[in-house]
Amino acid sequence: MEKASFFHPINLCRGIKSLSLLKRCQSAGIEVIMNNLFDIIKNFNSVIWNWPMLIFLFGTHLFFTFYLKFIQKKIGKGIKLSIAPSESGEGDASSFATLTTTLAATLGTGNIIGVSTAVALGGPGAIFWCWLTGVFGMATTYAECYLGVLYRKKTKDGTYLGGPMYTLEQGLHSKGLAVLYCLLTLLASYGIGCSTQSNAVTETASHLWGVSPYVIGFLTAFVTGLVIVGGLKSIGNICMRLVPAMGGFYILACILLLIMNIQYILPAFTLIFRSAFLPQAVMGGFIGSTIKTAARYGIARGLFTNEAGLGTAAIAAASGKTKSPKDQALISMSATFWDTVIMCAITGLVIVTNIIGNPESVEGLSSGELTTAAFKQIPIIGENMLGISIIAFAIATLIGWSYFGEKAVEYLFGKNGIGTYRVCYIIMIFVGSILSLEFVWELSDLINAFMIMPNILSLLLLHRKIKE
């Protein structure tokens, strides 16, 4: 009878209500934990991404700019080498494949959403600092890729492995720092390379087309998984086709917007440069900016987009077919040029010209929606054009960063660990798709800060090995 009474409709309803209440309590508890963790990470970032880190990172860019006698002036040669690379060098992939793999990893949401958040949080002046990070960061990219090729090693099966972990181990003879860098790279692959990108895909698809984040997360994980299981050749082949196509499409859309707002381009430049050095409130109701906040978000987002100082470009560069470290370093340097000097600058101009010309369009928007507001100025198709760009960029970054993570795992655990990593990475694509955007960005900034330290340490201590 007791068992029968349990299945009585009234008792079943009570049980269901109790379970529902329990789930809500559990959900509320998880939300509280995530909010507390978010506050901790945000507060830590406010400390670590202060003047010492800004000076450390930007100072390194300046040091190598002067040490290498303004290597940026050779960007034309770097672009030429990437288009018509040498066929006589040693390596696993063409220089163009390594360049597009690097660009795939860097041309992501940082160029669109990252620039938007930088403007919202740091003011229009953040674009100036982001742009400078790209200009001077080219020298740091050259330095880390030069060492990446110089200290790369050839395995028994004939493949080449390199990057900051090998520079740290063979150049500085520090196995501990090499292991630390790989662990941070592994974490970063799940953060900057995975979660931020999958989150952007689901947010975009949900907003534009009303598709469930769970469905989009699954599809994104599935499509990306099909590519990364094929290894370097599969990744290289996809990137060589996807990167030029998506980059060209996005630039053309931005040029169209700038033509529509051509009368605001000069005022936009004036506002950007003035805001970089003079405290003022951001138009459209966003927070005011100071020089420090403009520099903090500009440099941090610049790092997020071009990864100059992180050392990831050197991982791809090490596999490149090249005759000398110098040639490959010049080719890899051009990735920073395209990524930040061109792409981030043009995105920033699109945002600021729209703020000046249509200030009502950005009122009440979140920090990541300024680019969307600008693209809405293109009738009917504008928002969809941006959505397609975000999704293409994000998927490319997911593919590119999976390669960096694989190389970190291979260093730590050998090739046997790659299969497990790929499974975890694909799962994380789905998990990242349903996380809070603000949480993901702050976590990525934190991981980036720790990755910078061992890599730049090796660059500075081994700078005499680098030739221009």
Q: Residue 329 has which token pair?
A: 């370093």
Residue type (1 letter), 173: H
**28 and 123 inside one domain:** no
**96 and 7 inside one domain:** no
**CA angle in degrees (0–180, nearest 5) for 229-443-314:** 50
**3 and 90 inside one domain:** no
Residue 100, domain extent = 51-465
Residue stretches of the chain with pLDDT short of 70: 1-31, 34, 85-89, 91-92, 108-110, 231-233, 236, 279-292, 300, 303-304, 365-368, 435-437, 440
The pLDDT of residue 168: 95
CB atoms near residue 292 (< 10 Å): 14
DSSP string, 114-138: HHHHHHHHH-THHHHHHHHHHHHHH
**15 and 101 inside one domain:** no
The pLDDT of residue 284: 42
**Nearest alpha carbon to residue 77 among 400, 326, 378, 321:** 326
Which 3 state secondary structure label does DSSP give 289?
strand
The pLDDT of residue 147: 95
Residues in the chain: 468
141 burial (CB, 10 Å; 0-12 / 13-18 / 19+) is buried
DSSP string, 238-273: HHHHHHHHHHHHHHHHHHHHHHHTGGGHHHHHHHHH
Give the Å distances, CA to CA, from 407 to 162, 410, 425: 9, 5, 13
The pLDDT of residue 456: 93
Give the Å distances, CA to CA, from 74 to 95, 341, 467: 17, 15, 13
Q: What are the E-state strand segments in 273-391? A: 280-281, 288-289
Give the Å distances, CA to CA, from 105 to 239, 240, 312, 399: 9, 12, 9, 7
**178 and 311 inside one domain:** yes
363 burial (CB, 10 Å; 0-12 / 13-18 / 19+) is exposed
The pLDDT of residue 91: 66
> Residue 153: beta bridge partners?
161
**76 and 139 inside one domain:** yes
Q: Are 218 and 427 in contact (CB under 8 A)?
A: no
Q: Are strands 153-154 and 160-161 parallel, antiparallel or unpaired?
A: antiparallel
**414 and 435 inside one domain:** yes
**Nearest alpha carbon to residue 199 among 443, 384, 429, 355:** 429
**206 and 297 inside one domain:** yes
Instruction: Give the C-alpha separation, 165 to 71, whole Å.
Output: 24
**139 and 127 inside one domain:** yes
Instruction: Give the C-alpha separation, 145 to 317, whole Å.
Output: 6
**7 and 32 inside one domain:** yes
Instruction: Give the C-alpha separation, 250 to 272, whole Å.
Output: 22
> Residue 154: beta bridge partners?
160
DSSP designation for 89: S
Instruction: Give the C-alpha separation, 460 to 385, whole Å.
Output: 42
Calculate helix-pair angle for 196-209, 437-461, nearest 10 degrees.
Answer: 150
The pLDDT of residue 227: 83
**Nearest alpha carbon to residue 202 among 434, 439, 381, 441:** 434
Residue 184 sits in a domain of what CATH number? Answer: 1.20.1740.10
- What do you get for the CA distance between the two ends of the chain, in Å? 88
**180 and 43 inside one domain:** no
SS3 content of the chain, % helix, strand, coil (to 5): 80, 5, 20
Find the largest Cα–Cα distance for the chain. Answer: 90
Boundary (domain end) residue, out of 29, 48, 67: 48
The pLDDT of residue 457: 92
For residue 176, how many C-alpha atoms fall within 13 Å in the half-sphere facing its CB? 0
The pLDDT of residue 436: 64
**7 and 146 inside one domain:** no
Number of domains in the chain: 2
The pLDDT of residue 108: 67
Determine which helix (DSSP H) or strand (DSSP E) holds 161, and give its type and residue range.
strand 160-161
The pLDDT of residue 286: 47
What is the per-residue pLDDT across 195-212, written as a single tens digit (0 to 9) for each? 878 887 887 888 788 888
Q: Are 275 and 124 in contact (CB under 8 A)?
A: yes
Instruction: Give the C-alpha separation, 103 to 240, whole Å.
Output: 10
